[in-house]
Structure 1
């Protein structure tokens, strides 16, 4: 399989290089490669890179701003703290393609209709970025990633580059954009985790520039981009240099909501029962709810104040993930008077959270509604019972 993938990549290189030699008066050709989303979570949103073909040196290079080192012993720590460095890497185009061919992911190429001077400026900027002192940057999924770097490269080196028309519908937020990909990729639990972890910053409306943190929207932006020299568009041609398989229909979009609803229903049904097994199940559920929501709240506070992740700040999930629940869990069996007052206050917070669910400046995941309902009910019961 791998030998056939490499062979196909070499064919792509030969065919596109021949086409370039026949159609471009400059010795440089600049194109943007957009790779379709993959099955793994890290590839759910796709990828993009810059391709530079130089007929004078017969080089066919791919510049990739999305390179990182999994073998770095501090990789996961730095990623958690928002300090992970990504880098610009350069490889021959024939080494870029095999991964996407093997994973059956479509790769689209937009050949840019630029002046020779603009092409040379982009190539020089890429070489400058690749210098050891320049190639590393602190990665930010929404505001500084492999896609936004390419957008900045074009804006800074193509005279008068701008996108006259919107590329996202009115009312689109960062969260809605990533929801589209997570839904299509069949990632309901990842969607829930992201919705819990990321705060209200990603619920602001996106502009045309903002939306281009995603590869598909960078491609749309480039399709719409014009310059004074190219008022009808800067894309000379667009081709699928590899046609992958269309993804199947995703399943299980509402699995978290269903599971949480069943859990909440069981707890609500058992709560009025006085039998010993029912009371034991409810007590175990109460303990788990307090510990888990408390730990979740502590984690959210850490991501807000203890890391460089700006998108984890101002997180309204702290309305239900109360960090203080972790302390209250230790007193659930004895329930001193202050704990009963605490549960009354916590119940009030849950009720307010539910009433204002659609009004908060942060879109909370619908799967959490059953959890908030059962929390409110159990807080009231815990406050009443001695």
Structure 2
């Protein structure tokens, strides 16, 4: 062991000794990081705070991730992004049993704070847990159970806390971070749905602090944080060792399903068989109906949500809401409908050509859908129009004259 290592150890031991001598609060405060679960809502893990008071026999978990789904307007509020979450404090053993039952891991990081700082934070948590103070508006990437725990540590301890950089050299976006967890658990359909609904605002590069909306990133941040010139972390322990979560089994992924549809549609589109053409009438009706529903959903979420996560969604340029109406008359041979599909073809082609320049990461499973749109809008835009019978007066007169002569 070299001299520098010995000096570092002595400084660390000295700082612990100083804290031990000055801390008469009997308090112990820890950050709890829970591993991801199987369900979508638990895919990103969870965060809570633990407070232990050995003098009073207190051992409580403070959890910012609770909500009441019994509200009759819960789903309407959820759609609008009005999600009222609350801080709940209850027995640590209760908290632990829940995660043991779900086979999810729990890692505890004890914070190295002075007695005064711990008392200050404990008092702030108790005040925050009062009925009139415990509720807050939840926003999943800016104000959630993890950011609330972090802010409680940073703002209520009275310590000067500095987080070292925990981001890779290539700075990820919010969407990149979300994809990491969805890919790991093989949730391809959830990933497709999220990418369809969330707009380009989620493609902003995150800062070091912003990345800590995810429990794992806050845990990394605490691990390397400095408080008043010394490490914020006292020590780490694994409370519950979680078995590896098996990835979801998806035999039919969006990319696979849409690619099969693209191939089948292509074969039918270039066939002159009457059965194929009748089948395409039905397919086009269903396909444009669902694409139109997607478009209506995108526009609705863009307009009604109180946060910004669904705004500036470039998917609306191919999932046009007007397709919902066109689906009901798709089989008609009218000039205005022909012009509509020609416009659709041009818009879809431009969107496809600009794929790498769009300031939003579009889900790769959209590519076969664009292929289907291009094919079907091209054929629909070039169908022969229905011939209309001419019944003008001159033709009637000529017909009558010819009959007179014959008679």
User: Gapped runs of 5+ residues in structure 2?
Assistant: 1-19, 385-407
Once the two structures are TM-superposed, the CA of residue 254 in structure 1 deviates from its matched residue by 7.8
Match of 1:212 in 2: 212
Q: Paired residue for 1:95?
A: 94
**TM-score, structure 2 normalization:** 0.86
Farther-moved stretch of structure 1 (165-174 vs 287-296): 165-174
Query: 1:265 maps to which residue?
Result: 263
Question: Contact between 1:173 and 1:205, CA under 8 Å: does it hold in 2?
Answer: yes
User: What does residue 34 of structure 2 align with?
Assistant: 35
CA-CA distance at 1:83 after TM superposition: 1.0
Would you say the 8 A contact 1:297–1:321 is kept in 2? yes
Pairing 1:23-102 to 2, within 5 Å after superposition: 26-102=25-101
Q: CA deviation at 1:243?
A: 0.7
Distance in 1 between the 2:29 and 2:143 partners? Answer: 22
The answer to whether the Cα contact below 8 Å between 1:186 and 1:253 also exists between their aligned partners in 2 is no
* 2:170 alignment counterpart: 170
Counterpart selection for 1:353 from 334, 351, 355: 351
Instruction: Report what 1:239 is aligned to.
Output: 237
SS of match in other structure, 1:312: coil
Q: Which residue of 1 aligns with 2:198?
A: 198
- Between the aligned partners of 2:333 and 2:114, the Cα distance in structure 1 is 75
Distance (whole Å) between structure 1 residues aligned to residue 295 and residue 266 of structure 2: 24
CA offset at residue 174 of structure 1? 0.6
1:276-287, aligned counterparts within 5 Å? Answer: 276-287=274-285
Select which of 330, 336, 339 maps to 1:332: 330
Which residue is equivalent to 2:13?
none
Aligned equivalent of 1:374: 372
Q: Which moved more, 1:166-175 or 1:315-324?
A: 166-175
1:6-38 CA-partner distances (Å, limit 9, x unpaired): xxxxxxxxxxxxxxx9xx753111100000000
Aligned to 2:183: 183
> Are 1:303 and 2:301 matched, yes or no?
yes
Give structure 1 stretches of 5+ with no counterpart: 1-20
TM-score normalized by structure 1? 0.90
User: Bigger CA drift: 264-273 or 124-133?
Assistant: 124-133
The aligned residue for residue 120 of structure 2 is 121
Superposition RMSD on alpha carbons, in Å?
Answer: 1.7
1:377, CA displacement in angstroms? 1.4
User: Structure 1 residue 335: deviation in Å?
Assistant: 3.5
Q: Distance in 2 between matches of 1:108 and 1:25?
A: 26
Distance between the aligned counterparts of 1:106 and 1:56, measured in 2? 29
CA distance in 1, matches of 2:101, 2:174: 30
